Every structure is written in C-alpha cells, then in structure tokens.
C-alpha cells in the first residue's frame, strides 16, 4: 500500500514520515495522507518564494494577492470586499488591515459602490497597477528557485499534475471548503500567520 510510484527516484521527507508510520502500524494505507502531506510541503516551498517576491515590493504575500485579484478584474480593476475575501481566502479582519495598508501606500482606493448605497468597491490605482505588473508578470513564474522547480517536470507531468489538482479543487470547492476555512478564520484559528 506504500509502494513508490513508477518513475520516481530518491526519497523525500514524506517517504521518511511514512516509514515511521508503517513501523508503528504496518499495512495501513497511507496514500491519501502522503498526497496531502506532499501538497502541503510543496505549498510551503512555494509560499516562501512568494513571500520573498512580495517582500521585495514592500508587501506581504496576502497584500500581493489582493493587488493581483484587482489587476485581473479589468477593465474596472474593482472588486467589493466580499469578492476579495473569496479571491484571497483571507479572514475579513486581516483583509481590512491589508487594504488599509495598501490604501496608505496609494496602491488601492475605496469608493462607493454605484449599485449598492451601503457598499464599497476597492479599486486598483495606476500606481498599484504598475507595482503589480512589475512584481508579477501575468501568467509567468518568477525567478525564485522554488517556482522554477516545476520546470524539472516534463510538460506531460505538469499537465497530469494540473489535471489532478484541478479535480481535487473541484471536490473541495463543491463541498464548501472555502466556507469551512472562513469559519476557522473568524474563530481566530487560522493555520496561516496573518499580517
């Protein structure tokens, strides 16, 4: 139940972790745990790279995500706070602080929502657009070694990985995992450090 997939060479952290588990509980099927552990571990590497990219722009990674979400909202470059929460998977109190910080830097501005008297829209300013465009080339990975590691895989492996993760995200999103994580954030139990 813990056989190494064909074509894979070398041992990673998860292989060592599974050896320890199998020593205590032989015969247990750890394939799902192995897949989740590898996704989480890879995400930590990618997160470190994105933190460095954001840091060079004087921002946190979550602030960079906010700017990127607004950049993709062309041609208006506006989203309401509810849309931003979904885009950035962030607790509302953290997002409010980050928007305050971005507004103080002149990267975003808040304006009344013409379709909702009580609503507000967040708009990317020209300065914010220049910053996000110079920090993240849309659709292209940066030079960080962790992000470049994906190119060690063949195009076919990348396509397979994309397809598999796509299917997994469809299941998670259909089951309302984003709402569940939102509840965790609200209760202050976020597994990720906020600014």
Question: Yes or no: is domain 13-186 CATH 1.10.10.10?
Answer: yes
Question: Residue ranges per domain, the chain?
Answer: 13-186
First-to-final CA distance of the chain:
41
What is the torsion angle, in degrees rounded to the nearest 10, for the CA atoms of residue 154, residue 156, residue 159 and residue 165?
A: -80
Torsion, Cα of 97, 102, 103, 106 (10° steps): 170
Is the bond into 75 cis (omega within 30 degrees of 0)?
A: yes
Query: How confident is residue 194, by pLDDT bands cut at 50, 70 and 90?
Result: very low
Residue 165 pLDDT greater than 90, yes or no: yes
Predicted TM-score (pTM) of the model is 0.75
Q: What share of the chain has pLDDT > 90, as a percent?
A: 56
Share of the chain above pLDDT 70, in %: 84
């Amino acid at each position: 139940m813990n056989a190494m997939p064909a074509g894979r060479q070398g041992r990673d952290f998860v292989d060592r972790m599974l050896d320890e588990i199998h020593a205590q509980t032989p015969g247990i099927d750890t394939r799902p745990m192995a897949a989740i552990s590898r996704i989480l571990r890879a995400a930590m590497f990618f997160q470190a790279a994105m933190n460095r990219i954001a840091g060079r722009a004087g921002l946190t990674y979550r602030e960079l995500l906010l700017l990127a979400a607004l950049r993709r909202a062309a041609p208006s470059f506006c989203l309401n706070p509810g849309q931003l929460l979904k885009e950035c998977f962030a607790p509302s109190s953290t997002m409010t602080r980050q928007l305050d910080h971005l507004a103080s830097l002149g990267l975003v501005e808040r304006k009344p929502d013409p379709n909702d008297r009580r609503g507000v829209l967040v708009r990317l300013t020209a300065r914010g657009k220049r910053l996000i465009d110079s920090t993240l080339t849309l659709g292209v990975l940066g030079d960080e070694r962790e992000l470049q590691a994906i190119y060690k895989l063949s195009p076919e492996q990348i396509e397979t990985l994309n397809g598999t993760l796509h299917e997994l995200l469809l299941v998670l999103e259909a089951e309302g995992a984003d709402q569940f994580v939102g509840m965790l954030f609200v209760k202050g139990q976020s597994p990720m450090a906020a600014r």
